[in-house]
Structure 1
Amino acid sequence: MNKKIDNEMIERALKGSLEDKDTIVELLEPLIKSSISRYYYRAHLYDDLMQDGKLEILKCFKNFDPSQGVYFLGYVKTMLRYYYLNRNRDKECFSLDETNEEGLCQLELLESDENIEEDYIESETNDELKAAMAVLTEIEKSVIVDFYYNNLSLHEIADKRGIKYRTAVNNKTRAIYKLKTHFEEINFKFEW
């Protein structure tokens, strides 16, 4: 559908044109979807929330007062936002001790953000990296730290250190080569 909502269509819909109301509701489906995802996303209620959003738009045709100096589409957007925010107040509550259809406790199904194995590997990698930094000169260390940890560009590093851009590039290249060589010597698997 390549139709667009224009003022004449809105005026006809406000005067009662069912065809224009249907067209506007259909064209506003992306706004409904956006409002759901922004203010009240519940995947299992998605179809119901879409229908509720369409009903809310139809209520807007009934309740809109043009004398207030508000643009109709802005009014609809605001009403959808408030509708879904108010629905959010009535959140579903359940106990984590309840079991699901498969007999598993909800508490056991919760995922943890903590990954002990990854944390250990990252810690070990960081320790190896810190030890490897000892093979670098002070300027090479500072360039690596500024580039990778402080997210400075090589131009910014050169300006900060009062060196030429090419010198900063050479220090970074030399430092990476030394670190790579060090890791190869100790047989440490490190993804570059």
Structure 2
Amino acid sequence: MTIKLHGVPASNFYNIAKVALQLKGLAFEEIPLHPNEKTPAFLAMSPLGKIPCIQTDQGAMSESLAIALYAERLQPEPALFPADAFAAGRALQIHQLLNLYGFQHTAKLIKPCFFGAPAEADFIDATLAEAGKVITATAQVCAFAPYIAGEQMTIADLTALFELDLLHRCAQLAKRGSPLDTFTGWAGWRETMLKNPIIADAVAARDQMWEHLLSQAASA
């Protein structure tokens, strides 16, 4: 079986898929690909030109959640999608809250914070405030016991780690308070997540890529 993972470690979505594959012990080859590299060949694999995307012996597939579920079916253990009906629903609820409602605000901050695109101070403040509302809502359904949805690490933990880290970094770069500063349990949970060497390595690689992007933007 051959799996090729396309994308870049700066991307939260890429890291969700990458870590899911690694936690399952599945071998794969990383293929560096810029998020805007929408060539006909890549669009044939990822219809909207989004990363991450995988190539497999059966065909290509995009979307981090789809890739994580693919990995789950190939290698059920350790499970990222709980067998218990309520636990599985809760994990996906947290994933959806952060992915659908939270990231839409974080995405607006990436260009001004990482690449120096012009943005009014009021826009930054309003965007962080909207992101904060999503964090407050999400906090109502988080367990941190010790993982975000309960006793088991799930897809919700991977989504939360990489998406919330990005939001937190954007707030730092904008020299604003982070919406996560009042997210009770987040800091201790993050420390727990980073005790996993696979996750720690992915975070380190991402941070290195972030610093590279910031350096490039500063010298442009």
Please, what TM-score do these two structures have when normalized by structure 1? 0.23
Larger Cα-atom Rg: 1
Task: Name the structure where strand makes up a greater proportion of residues.
Answer: 2
The structure carrying a bigger helix percent of its residues is 1
